[in-house]
Structure 1
């Protein structure tokens, strides 16, 4: 029962104003002992003269005089005091009697003077709470484990201190709870301010919303009215054209009809004349009319009317089918609700930029809850300026909900400034520094020196791009394959390849790593190993004809082409390693790396000592070659790594470091860059258009922008 005294019902009963139904704000008590907020009573008083209690309609003002005693009902004198616990007004005589009762000695008596001075019930005059179990005992303790208010007697009987009970003096508990409430209030105040500010913003937006909706309706109406007008104009043009053709064709047909009727009448007349002469005329008559009939018939036959086909119909053709036009119409106009975007929470990812290349930075637009959201293109602006302050043209394209590409093509090197705004507000961190490098500067370098630690290399020989777009590197000296994030260069994982001298690498259609190995000591140590995506060895292939395998390329069906320096040819192998055919024997001198053009069933192989690239089909027939020894455009100084872009263009790096691009037919197109690292080996093209180059002597992988 003690817990009931501490319940919310008790608190609400004495803390709620009956008028506003809220907790008391500056409470005031009427002579009838009903309590109300000061403001509520003031407002009530303006409506009620004389003043009446809103609850019981008793007349009187707070702390007013002349109220009868509620015990003797005013028989002795007027009320002079108030018992807080009994909640009744007492005259002086009844007050003295009230104080003499032993069971009422703990009650708090407030005099009329104090009551009037307080203008209500101050905190010191609040009624004491008595224990419901021990009615003469005041609740003075709080049992923490039970979360219950108790009296002194309870601490002796039901809540004796121990393991299960811990009565604490109520004042200290109240102070602690007051501090807790103050902390909560301190936390509430900032939120309250935010809610108030947002409420004002919502009210403003609610006020402006009909205007924007009406404007959208006007724009949509004008847009579709224009479309309707265009269709109506086109309809009138077509109908008018049909009418013109109708007149022209009709006149033409009428003219042709008249000419044919005239010719037909002449032919019929002449023919009938001749028939009559032949049937009924004498020989003399036939001879006499023959000349005349001949002349008439010859005239008719030499000037015949035109019997060729004339336009006889006017036909309407739809041009654009109704169904196709319907698809276009469904895409005409787009309605979107403009979301309030917090520009300070939006973010921009600045990517390395290279002069003369198309580069992109990424913008994420988010709402006030931090969720990606779409915004109107007109609400996003991106301005790029070069070191001299000149503007560089930029383009914005939304690639997905809240994901934007900001593309630009800087023409000079140096520090550029990119300012990005959303809904007129600057994105956090804007303007951003965009460092534009020359084409010969790698946009990303992985590894810095020789070592065996994470992200370090010992003679990297080849690279490939896995199914996730990450870069796999053959770390030859450390006998392992390392996987790196192609965008950041961060080391993701590695796995060992316990065999001498791993050389080339490629990824098969299932995402497995195919690695070639060279044993410089034993002729039987040459092999090809296949590893799962997790780096587990799945199979080992040892083709009989393999002598010095280098680059490898895997076809979609699992077959593979291996450049064999010892055989001076390329081997086309089955997935199990068995030989299908030997390709290029007698033509190749030192084949190094291989690239596939799967769309044409061709493969390209660099011949380091031949200073050219050989192109074969899978049947082993040489299709063409390109390149020769030299330092000019399209020439090679020992070609090494090779790869093919999605358009079929061929990218080749030679020993001098030049990254050259050739068309699908081997025609020289351009030079992308000159690799800074020494002795470049295998290369690969990443999904975001970077060429990864394994720099053998410098123990690093460099990425160059490819356009």
Structure 2
């Protein structure tokens, strides 16, 4: 089981997965808001809320990896749209996708999505989808009707490939793509720069998720034995370690997603991270103080 997060208008959306995927909504003090959403793909026999994003109409978009679909729900949990593998596709197609995530690497094809990012309202908006595997078209941009627009070029190379994308974040003209061993930054759809292993002496760099701040700084969630939560400058250099590896309060173990509150100074602005295989959500400040945890299972 893993966990994903989205933060919109002070509400925290938490996606988890067992066999039945679930998206729950909380305020930033950990109080549940509504009953949440549950769903399971009938063909695959399971679903996964690998990535969650919320548009300006409060519709919830979910990357469902086993079903190879981007699902769209109302805030009341009614599935009202989406795109990806057709819902009437045979189960054999899903088996092929799961067994070979590098297959079917073509424009407009959504296979094994691992994250989604949306902006807009009504039928006017942008959906950015990240898919698993080593692919040229692992990151693609669609409109709200699921029509393909373009694919950013990995490292600016027309025939390059993304390496097992873990997550996405967007702010203004910047798009951050977290993949195996590195982070790529795009500006207005074009490659801007990339960085790998910002910590000197770290043997293995396993970034899982990133959040972009308005001033250009970034918060990076890193997994592996040296799990950590890092505050980076706009060039990807470490400014501060917000949390180190561990299972105790104020520590992180295999964090899989991170989001940051919009307003406030470093000592008050809240950073939310999900870790321990989707079983715990902790709240920090940009100054490194831990407020506590909720959704915690022993």
Q: What is the alpha-carbon distance in structure 2 between the residues aligned to residue 491 and residue 459 of structure 1?
A: 15
Pick one of 49, 57, 69 that aligns with 1:460.
Answer: 49
User: Any conservation in 1 of the 2:36–2:77 contact (CA below 8 Å)?
Assistant: yes
1:1-46 alpha-carbon deviations (Å, 9 max, x no partner): xxxxxxxxxxxxxxxxxxxxxxxxxxxxxxxxxxxxxxxxxxxxxx
Q: What is the alpha-carbon distance in structure 1 between the residues aligned to residue 297 and residue 62 of structure 2?
A: 17
Asked if residue 530 in structure 1 is aligned to residue 141 in structure 2, the reply is yes
User: Any conservation in 2 of the 1:467–1:511 contact (CA below 8 Å)?
Assistant: no
| Deviation of 1:615 (Å) | 1.8
Q: Which has the larger radius of gyration?
A: 1
Change (3 A) 1:619 1:515: same
Pick one of 86, 111, 117 that aligns with 1:500.
Answer: 111
1:226-252 alpha-carbon deviations (Å, 9 max, x no partner): xxxxxxxxxxxxxxxxxxxxxxxxxxx
Match of 2:188 in 1: 575
Change (3 A) 1:469 1:440: closer
Asked if residue 563 in structure 1 is aligned to residue 175 in structure 2, the reply is no
- 3-state SS, counterpart of residue 36 of structure 2: strand
Match of 1:654 in 2: 275
Change (3 A) 1:675 1:644: farther
Residue pairs, 1:302-317, within 5 angstroms: none
1:207-243 alpha-carbon deviations (Å, 9 max, x no partner): xxxxxxxxxxxxxxxxxxxxxxxxxxxxxxxxxxxxx
Q: What is the alpha-carbon distance in structure 1 between the residues aligned to residue 216 and residue 142 of structure 2?
A: 25
**Structure holding more strand per residue:** 2
Asked if residue 491 in structure 1 is aligned to residue 79 in structure 2, the reply is yes
- 3-state SS, counterpart of residue 115 of structure 2: strand
Residue pairs, 1:231-380, within 5 angstroms: none
Identify unmatched segments of 5+ residues in structure 1.
1-438, 677-707
Identify unmatched segments of 5+ residues in structure 2.
1-29, 86-108, 155-159, 264-268
Change (3 A) 1:508 1:577: farther
| Alignment RMSD | 2.7
User: Any conservation in 2 of the 1:563–1:605 contact (CA below 8 Å)?
Assistant: no
Residue pairs, 1:63-78, within 5 angstroms: none
| Deviation of 1:621 (Å) | 2.3
- 3-state SS, counterpart of residue 628 of structure 1: strand
Asked if residue 540 in structure 1 is aligned to residue 151 in structure 2, the reply is yes
- 3-state SS, counterpart of residue 114 of structure 2: strand
Change (3 A) 1:518 1:575: farther
Match of 1:327 in 2: none
- 3-state SS, counterpart of residue 110 of structure 2: coil
| Deviation of 1:616 (Å) | 1.6
Q: Give the alignment's TM-score, normalised by structure 2.
A: 0.68
Pick one of 248, 258, 273 that aligns with 1:642.
Answer: 258
Match of 2:126 in 1: 512
User: Any conservation in 2 of the 1:508–1:555 contact (CA below 8 Å)?
Assistant: no
User: Any conservation in 2 of the 1:584–1:622 contact (CA below 8 Å)?
Assistant: no
Change (3 A) 1:443 1:585: same
Asked if residue 477 in structure 1 is aligned to residue 66 in structure 2, the reply is yes
Asked if residue 674 in structure 1 is aligned to residue 296 in structure 2, the reply is yes
Q: What is the alpha-carbon distance in structure 1 between the residues aligned to residue 32 and residue 287 of structure 2?
A: 29
- 3-state SS, counterpart of residue 639 of structure 1: coil
